[in-house]
Amino acid sequence: MNRKELFGHIKEKKSFLCVGLDTDPKKIPSHLLKEKDPVFEFNRQIIDATAAMTVAYKPNIAFYEALGPKGWESLQKTLDYIPKDIFTIADAKRGDIGNTSSLYAKAFFETMDFDSITVAPYMGIDSVKPFLEFEGKWVILLALTSNEGSMDFQLITSKEGKPLFQEVLEKSSQWGTPENLMYVVGATRGEKIAAVRKTVPEHFFLVPGIGAQGGSLEEVAKYGMNANCGLLVNSSRGIIYADNGTDFAQFAKKEASKLQQEMEILLEKYL
Amino acid sequence: MNRKELFGHIKEKKSFLCVGLDTDPKKIPSHLLKEKDPVFEFNRQIIDATAAMTVAYKPNIAFYEALGPKGWESLQKTLDYIPKDIFTIADAKRGDIGNTSSLYAKAFFETMDFDSITVAPYMGIDSVKPFLEFEGKWVILLALTSNEGSMDFQLITSKEGKPLFQEVLEKSSQWGTPENLMYVVGATRGEKIAAVRKTVPEHFFLVPGIGAQGGSLEEVAKYGMNANCGLLVNSSRGIIYADNGTDFAQFAKKEASKLQQEMEILLEKYL
């Protein structure tokens, strides 16, 4: 999916919502455990309930990997089930030397058919470029994350006075374009989002940290939105675990609708 | 396996060799392709031929992941086949927020039973700590890698005059101990290895970059060895793809023996 198509879906659905499929057999409603593939069955019902107001799905790969080979089968079935007009993100945070990154790219872009993958920048250019060589596919590079440990290294100031995440943005934006490179930008503080937006005005941001991690959607839109929206805002637990009964998918739909309605207002206000 | 046991195996085998199982169906001898599980069959023969002079095996997870669910089965069978007195490294370079890192830890330490996993530091403390909470298991944290892109961020100097890899070493060495934390230290230059050794005198280093990536074993030993050896030096392609015929395992054995003999001399010289 290219940037124009993605923006088209955002305008059409009046939403820039990404739903995180952090599907954990220990957290899904117990009635699903009698299904042959409970993880897929949960995802299927979540997708059915939320697809109308969702522009991206983001399976968190760790949750599937933790289940061994059958987890990868649930992941593949989930990916196949997601409607083709919804952007898919493998939240895998991979990053290795060139020939190894090529293999990860092959795993997520060919063996599976994800539109994008999250990538860690620590190993530099040859860990990122192999992912950018796939036509029509996207890298979503970690820049500024919203977790506790993000302060340990991402905010270290260089002798040129730039925090590390800024160095990552400046260097990596030379490797790809706004057509194949997005950034993970944590949603905890508006001023930080504004600083990132100034450095990379055109790129899309994947914004985690709404809800459970405490960010404000209004701040994200105010400081992060650009002329193509430029935002995919993720919610995982707040949607998929909204309820634990047989009606869980309806509760998920209700939470997703709430966010979509807020997003509709913000798109009118800031786009 | 604890540090004392690992050092015991090093002394006993007179070797600090780690063999990288970067097993690619496109590169293995063609006669193996008729086997039910060619990747496992290749690994099995490599392990049989090299176990006597090897103290660690390091499957590169990307190679298995690229094959989909059956790749994970080959990986599990390989792991089960490795003799219990040989240290196992999941070269996965994972790193994510706390609850996700916990799942990766579960995948590699419980679902599978690796002794250790390589982890990327960019997301900081909560991306590393969950791996350190498993008794008897190890984190091998990326510090200074040997690839082209390692210069992009790892060598950025902070306003305190420290390169990023140094900040990673100093901070992370507070999170774990030499009993559960090792570092990836690229082997391309002796002076850099000496600098790392000065910062973390006790920790083991996993050293890639011998052979294909051009590092010198003598330099690594001279500048990196400590009183517990403190080194695991990896060779992948130079051993496992030494030959492409039906006798490939014998050629692998020959290459591994060559390295073991060099290591024996270096252990006598520098330990």
Catalytic site includes residue A93 = yes
Do A153 and B142 make contact, defined as CB atoms within 8 angstroms?
no
Kindly provide the residue ranges of all beta strands, DSSP E only, lying in chain B, ordered along the sequence.
17-21, 56-59, 87-94, 116-119, 138-144, 181-185, 205-207, 231-235
Cβ-based burial of B191 (10 A; exposed 0-12, middle 13-18, buried ≥19): exposed
**Which member of A93, A162, A222, A254 is catalytic?**
A93
In angstroms, the separation between the Cα of residue B227 and the nearest Cα of chain A is 30
Q: Which of A69, A100, A152 has the CB atom closest to B124's CB atom? A: A152
| pLDDT value at residue B154 | 96
What is the pLDDT tens value at each position of chain A, 271 positions in all? 999 999 999 999 999 999 999 999 999 999 999 999 999 999 999 999 999 999 999 999 999 999 988 999 999 999 999 999 999 999 999 999 999 999 999 999 999 999 999 999 999 999 999 999 999 999 999 999 989 999 999 999 999 999 999 999 999 999 999 999 999 998 777 888 999 999 999 999 999 977 655 568 999 999 999 999 999 999 999 999 999 999 999 999 999 999 999 999 999 999 9
Question: Does B213 score more than 60 pLDDT?
Answer: no
pLDDT of residue B92: 97
Indicate the SS3 state at residue B157.
strand
Strands (E), A186-265: 205-207, 231-235
pLDDT at residue B37 above 80?
yes
> What is the CATH code of the structural domain delimited by A3-270?
3.20.20.70
**Nearest Cα to B147, choosing from A155, A109, A128?**
A128
Reported pTM = 0.96
| Chain A residue numbers touching B91 (CB-CB < 8 A) | 96
Report chain A residues whose CB lies below 8 A from the CB of B173. none
pLDDT exceeds 90 at position B146: no
Instruction: Output the CA torsion sign for B56, B60, B63, B66.
Output: positive
Per-residue pLDDT band at B187 (split at 50, 70, 90):
confident
SS3 state at B19: strand
Q: Give the tokens for residue B44.
A: 């099995």
Q: From start to end of A122-245, where are the E strands?
A: 138-144, 181-185, 205-207, 231-235
CA distance B240 to B21: 7
pLDDT on residue B182 = 98
What pLDDT is recorded for position A56? 98
Nearest to B62 among A22, A65, A103 (CB): A103
Read off φ and ψ for residue B95, nearest 5 degrees. Answer: 165, 115
Each residue's pLDDT tens digit, B50-63 = 999 999 999 999 99
ipTM: 0.94
Query: d(Cα A176, Cα A40) in Å, to the nearest integer?
Result: 34
B147/A159 CB distance under 8 A = no
| pLDDT of res. A212 | 55
**What is the mean predicted confidence (pLDDT) over B111-127?**
96
A24: distance to nearest CA of chain B, Å? 10
Amino acid letter, residue B197: R
pLDDT at residue B210 is higher than 90: no
pLDDT band at B215; cut points 50, 70, 90: low
By Cβ distance, the residue of B65, B96, B164 closest to A156 is B164
Chain B, nearest residue to A101 by Cα: B62
- A26 CA to chain B: closest CA distance, Å? 12
Distance to chain A for B67, nearest Cα, Å: 7
**What residues of B are in contact with residue A66 (Cβ under 8 Å)?**
103-104, 106-107, 111
